Amino acid sequence: MNPPPPKICKRIRQFFRLMGSSNLNESANARDKLTNLLSKHNLSWNDITACVAAADEDDNFRSSATTTTSSHGQSHSQNPSGPAINVLDLVLRLLERHVDLTADQRMAVALWTLHTHVFGRFQITPRLALLSPVRGCGKTTLLVLLEQLCADADRNDNVTAAAIYHLIAHREHSLLIDEGDNLGLLNNPVLRAAFNAGHRRGGAIRRFLRGRSSKLSVFAPLAVAAIGSLPLPLMHRSVIINMQRHMPNEARLEPVNEFDPTFPASRTEIEKWAATCKLNPEPDMPGELHNRAADNWRVLLAVADDLGHGHAAPPPR
């Protein structure tokens, strides 16, 4: 695909950025305009990433070409690219469109989603516990959405400890586990240990493999969906999202289409942010946070601060 002229690419980038607006009308209007613009130029949503990259490349070229030197010998450069996409706003809008969550829950899940792209810079990766009292509360839908946005997501309905440590041994993954109430965690100490130990850097399971004792890492982001509850040690390591059924009289939610090109385009923007962000390893912590609760929220608050939402971080659990 050959990108359209830079002017069109910049309009596409502008509308894509506005989709992350906190104003729902502005976000919906930007999506409609983007759809029409793509259609007008015989483009698809799959072309957004290339168009945004072309717009950024043109801005960089113009910025370097228009660098001028003042009479005092100081260099000045013009940067017409405008503000970058706020990926937290973008993820919040996607969650609001597809899943029934409170504002605080949405913020917590969005921060957790982004943290999967930067968790390696911190000592702790909090578990995300998606719980509901009955079936049909949107847990699976949320996991499908997280699969589109998290770093190297691996979503499964059942898993063993061996599958986890062999998977992570080859590459870091965000583990998304559905049907957590069917895992028998109370009677499966090995899987329970893998879930708990993966919370902290250095967490590992030792096994005898190929004739020798091997230490296998289990440090990785983990989201578990379950009806009811989970073992207390795992809950203590988790950000807990208590979900309820979406009522028929409430605003209609859009189904998650796994082939919607909005998702890879959004993930590309998240990856750009993750590659360049400078996170504070010790962000300001609310006074009520102590011990493990502080550990769980440290990386999430660092992400919130970096993206200008530190003041809006939800009450910790």
Q: What is the 3-state secondary structure (H, E, C) of the chain?
A: CCCCCHHHHHHHHHHHHHCCCCCHHHHHHHHHHHHHHHHHCCCCHHHHHHHHHHHHHHHHHHHHHCCEECCCCCEECCCCCCCCCCHHHHHHHHHHHHCCCCHHHHHHHHHHHHHCCCHHHCCECCEEEEEECCCCCCHHHHHHHHHHHCCCEEEECCCCHHHHHHHHHHCCCEEEECCHHHCCHHHCHHHHHHHHHCCECCCEEEEEECCEEEEEECCCCEEEEEECCCCHHHHHCEEEEECCCCCCCCCCCCCCCCCCCHHHHHHHHHHHHHHHCCCCCCCCCCCCCCHHHHHHHHHHHHHHHHCCCHHHCCCCC
Distance (Å, rounded) from C-alpha 81 to C-alpha 17? 12
pLDDT of residue 42: 85
Residue 136: the pLDDT is 92
Question: 70-74, 86-90, 186-190: which has the minimum mean pLDDT?
Answer: 70-74
Q: How sure is the predictor about 69, in pLDDT bands with cuts at 50, 70 and 90?
A: very low
CA distances from 269 to 72, 86, 145, 275, 299 (A): 38, 9, 16, 10, 19
Mean per-residue pLDDT for 74-82?
Answer: 37
Span 286-304, average pLDDT: 92
In contact, 279 and 306? CB cutoff 8 Å: yes
Alpha carbon distance 131, 121 (integer Å) = 28
The rounded percent of the chain whose pLDDT value lies above 90 is 55
Query: Of 310 and 243, which is predicted with more confidence?
Result: 243
pLDDT at 65: 46
**What is the structure's pLDDT at 170?**
77
**Fold for domain 87-302?**
Rossmann fold (3.40.50)
Q: How far apart are CA 139 and CA 317, in angstroms?
A: 19
Give the model's confidence band at 125: pLDDT under 50 very low, under 70 low, under 90 confident, else very high. Answer: very high
Residue 31 has what pLDDT? 84
pLDDT at 39: 85
pLDDT in the model for residue 29: 84
Predicted confidence at residue 313, as pLDDT, reads 65
- 249 pLDDT more than 50: yes
**What does the pLDDT look like over 258-281, one tens digit per residue?**
888 889 889 999 999 999 999 999
The pLDDT value recorded for residue 141 is 96
Per-residue model confidence (pLDDT) at position 61: 60
Share of the chain above pLDDT 70, in %: 88
Q: Tell me: pLDDT of 108 over 90.
A: yes
Greatest mean pLDDT among 33-47, 54-68, 281-295 lies in 281-295
Q: Give the range among 1-10, 99-108, 181-190, 271-280 with minimum mean pLDDT.
A: 1-10
pLDDT in tens, 30-58: 888 888 888 888 888 778 878 887 887 77
Question: What average pLDDT is seen over the chain?
Answer: 86
State yes or no: pLDDT of 14 exceeds 90. Answer: no
Between 190-199, 208-217, 218-227, 307-316, the lowest mean confidence (pLDDT) is in: 307-316
Domain regions of the chain by residue span:
6-63, 87-302
Considering only residues 19 and 109, tell me which one the structure prediction assigns the higher pLDDT.
Answer: 109
Q: What is the pLDDT of residue 259?
A: 87
